[in-house]
Structure 1
Amino acid sequence: MRILIHDYPGYAFPVELARALAHRGHVVCHVHFSATIGPKGTLARMPDDPETLEFLAIGISGTYRKYSLLHRFLQERAYARRLEQAVRAFSPEVVISNAQPDIQARLLATCQDMGIPLVHWLQDLYSTAIGNILKRKCWLLGALAGAWYRHVEKRLISGCAQVVCISDAFASEMKDWGIPDSHVVRIDNWAPLADIPVMDQDNPWSGQYGLAGVDVVLYAGTLGWKHNPALLENLALALKERPKTRLVVASEGLGASWLAERKVEQGLDNLVLLPYQPEESFAAMLASAKVLLAILEPDASAYSAPSKILSYLCAGRPVVVSFPPENHSAQLLSGARAGIVCSSGDDAGFIAAVKDLLDKPENAADLAINGRMYAERHFRIDEIVCAFERVLNHA
């Protein structure tokens, strides 16, 4: 089967899926947007990759302006046109895609014109995200934009052959939208287990950044509209009393820039700010930590299930999150007994949980072991690829 996998940001787990499908005899083209800044998989052919696998990076003219709504809208429309060209050139038998509604709508029209099925990989409810984010600026604008994009998103999902949902909450939303149960499949996200082994805290990466022998508390990933970086500032302030502890934030963009300013203003010498790390350093970076962190704003829970948690589980380190407790990732972490879930807005509880794990290594070790065991049970790519093959064959 000729399969095109379109994952807009280029994350590691869809890359692993592409490789696994190619190893099972399929002809696979993995497509992503080259201008996004963030954690990515290995988006190039490796020596042991089959000849039936290819990677395509699609770019745009100029600098991608993610946080400018108008420029982003125009740039994504330009990207969608180039994506259409790529699909027509590869001529797949089926497409599976995760992208924003405007991009996905153009892709659906292309697939319908070519007479091929599109499988919608539902990673985020974009219409809810757009509405909630814009409501922070202007309630009426957010309500109108959210309603419009809900209409667009619902229409395009209705036109897809299958919908892969990553959580029960998303599957329930599809039911509310009138999508038949026969068109909806639940497949949870995962992280590439083999790429994130359990490693020593003192390793070449921690040595490179002067973190060997230090108690590292690490946040790795996006700091955007869904996150409140002030929580990390408050944590750094609370950890200043611990001379052997460093809060390391590996991120870029708005939140990271804000933290850089606060670091100077507050004299936070214990706050170490790094850019996104390359894929080959990712496992060693996670291993350097005593505690791993994730944060999510309350209104983001309805449309987002942060996948960084899954990488954290692979690393075999305890996790502390500031999430709404009803969020899918929060429930996963609690169910796996791999970390501590603090409600969004409970800054004191979040800081206390981090300190508690630093002070009680035996408790931290239990959570770390549970997390790795969960990953080893649930992130088996041979089982995951079979689930996707069933979806693609049914489409």
Structure 2
Amino acid sequence: MPVADAECSQRTQKIWVISEVYYPDDNPTGYFLTGIAEGLAKEFDVRVLCTQPSYTVRGKEAPRNENHRGVSIDRVWSTTFDKNILPLRLVNSLTVSLSIFLKMLWGLRRKDRVLVVNVPPISPLAVGLACRLRGVEYTLLIHDVYPDAVAAAGMLRTTSVLYRMLNRVFGVLLNSARHVVVLGRDMFQRISDKRRDKTVCVTMIPNWADLELVPRTQHVGEENAIRQQFKLDGKFVVQYSGNMGLTHNLDVIVAAARDMQNDVDLHFLLVGSGARKTWVTETVANENLHNVTVADRRPREELNDLLLAADVSVISFLPAMAGVSVPSRLYNVMAVGCPVIAVADPESELARTVAEERIGWVVPPNDVVAFRAAVDEAKSNPAELAAMRVRARRAAEVRFSYSQVVQAYRELLKTNSSTPKSIWDQSEMKPETDISVRRAA
């Protein structure tokens, strides 16, 4: 991630970046908002409002105020109860929202611009209210669509009173923004359908690939520390790396591993954390699935070795997740040149990217037979797998670089006019692709 220029004296317009999670937390939200803020700091006076670290480095005390890589960071007060206990997590979000609201109400000026991410979903409401009271436009960055994500996870029925109430609250937030940024074409469509105020401009700006993550000369499995640690040398490794959350389809992976135990050259490596981690660990142990290794989340500095340990990477979602979430891990998987098995709705950004770039297989959610067939084909066709690696890296370089993404945010936040639907000209967007979906016989 490039360091911001030292041109502070020339940066007059102030941009507020609001994210509960920020550096030194490096979970996806913290990592990407940190990168966006530091990229904006090359042209703007950037001020971040966030909390003390509460995710990947929970317990670490960071300075209340500091300037890091050209960005002025203000860590507001909030309660720090255990975020894994839902009522306590709600209290944390309420207190941080109040702190952010008061800070913005005091400090906002009419010419300022505001960028706020909607994860967690409470604080953007406080930001929206403060902006309205101070007459300031704000841009809403959507990482996950609520309450749709909660419904897709099976935690809330779309016919329930609570769902309708939350959907109305999200609608108020959405229609009060000047701009809305989404991460994929499927999310663009979903948000456009939800938008009542057609003057609200919806723009697609994806997350980026860390192209410096791996030298071009390295290859999958070559003297790899992760393979050596888990004794996987000589194995064909199917890897799942990332959040093991309620919307991620881990059942299809475990079921396939159960059915494929007789293949002694095949191994499943599941790495990460999240709400379903306990279920995965207990299932693998109780069923004695010797072809599965479950490991804890690795620090970001080990991401290189982790992704290079895979012969093929799995990114999996439950049904009805198209337009709800776009997995940022896809772009780093592409950056290291790893083919992908996408367990996803065919209209999702994930499935469309995999199909358009010809870098893997698209499998319908919950279709274990199709998933096994994709693994078998990947394992039995090394020439095609090698070609996919080249295409994946090339696509990451051409479509998903850090410089492209940050420049799109700069243009969005410094303009007073409406913006196009995508950071790419519509003529450059690939047409609807015939996605070859593997289905059970």
TM-score range, shorter chain: 0.7 to 0.9
In structure 2, what is the equivalent of residue 3 of structure 1? 15
Check whether the contact 1:162–1:183 (CA below 8 A) recurs between aligned residues. Answer: yes
Deviations 1:306-350 (A, max 9, x none): 222122111101110111111121111111111100111211111
- What CA distance in whole angstroms lies between the structure 2 residues aligned with 1:190 and 1:8? 21
Q: CA deviation at 1:28?
A: 4.5
In structure 2, what is the equivalent of residue 189 of structure 1? 207
- What CA distance in whole angstroms lies between the structure 2 residues aligned with 1:282 and 1:79? 31
- What CA distance in whole angstroms lies between the structure 2 residues aligned with 1:354 and 1:301? 23
- What CA distance in whole angstroms lies between the structure 1 residues aligned with 2:107 and 2:305? 36
Instruction: Give 5+ residue unaligned stretches, structure 1.
Output: none
- What CA distance in whole angstroms lies between the structure 1 residues aligned with 2:294 and 2:107? 41
In structure 2, what is the equivalent of residue 97 of structure 1? 116
- What CA distance in whole angstroms lies between the structure 1 residues aligned with 2:407 and 2:336? 25
1:378 corresponds, among 377, 387, 399, to: 399
1:303 aligned onto 2:324 = yes
The residue type equivalent to 1:389 in the other structure is R
Check whether the contact 1:128–1:302 (CA below 8 A) recurs between aligned residues. Answer: no
**How many residue pairs align between the two structures?**
383
Check whether the contact 2:344–2:363 (CA below 8 A) recurs between aligned residues. Answer: yes
Q: CA deviation at 1:292?
A: 0.4
The residue type equivalent to 1:119 in the other structure is T
In structure 2, what is the equivalent of residue 160 of structure 1? 177
- The 1:373–1:145 alpha-carbon spacing in structure 2 relative to 1, beyond 3 Å, is same
In structure 2, what is the equivalent of residue 203 of structure 1? 224
- The 1:311–1:150 alpha-carbon spacing in structure 2 relative to 1, beyond 3 Å, is same
2:282 corresponds, among 255, 261, 275, to: 261
- The 1:354–1:8 alpha-carbon spacing in structure 2 relative to 1, beyond 3 Å, is farther
Q: CA deviation at 1:61?
A: 2.2
Q: CA deviation at 1:101?
A: 3.5
Greater Cα shift, 316-325 or 264-273 = 264-273
1:120 aligned onto 2:140 = yes
TM-score when normalising by structure 1:
0.86
- What CA distance in whole angstroms lies between the structure 2 residues aligned with 1:287 and 1:328? 24
- The 1:288–1:187 alpha-carbon spacing in structure 2 relative to 1, beyond 3 Å, is same
- The 1:383–1:300 alpha-carbon spacing in structure 2 relative to 1, beyond 3 Å, is closer
- What CA distance in whole angstroms lies between the structure 2 residues aligned with 1:240 and 1:87? 57
Q: Secondary structure at the match of 1:194?
A: coil
The residue type equivalent to 1:262 in the other structure is T
1:278 corresponds, among 299, 313, 325, to: 299
1:250 corresponds, among 271, 278, 303, to: 271
- What CA distance in whole angstroms lies between the structure 1 residues aligned with 2:74 and 2:397? 28
Q: CA deviation at 1:263?
A: 1.3
Q: CA deviation at 1:255?
A: 1.5
The structure in which a higher percent of residues are helix is: 1
1:77 aligned onto 2:98 = no
RMSD of the TM alignment (CA)?
Answer: 2.9
Deviations 1:127-164 (A, max 9, x none): 2223444xx35647x53222111111111111112111
Check whether the contact 1:17–1:381 (CA below 8 A) recurs between aligned residues. Answer: no
The residue type equivalent to 2:212 in the other structure is A
- The 1:272–1:132 alpha-carbon spacing in structure 2 relative to 1, beyond 3 Å, is closer
Instruction: Give 5+ residue unaligned stretches, structure 2.
Output: 1-12, 22-26, 417-441
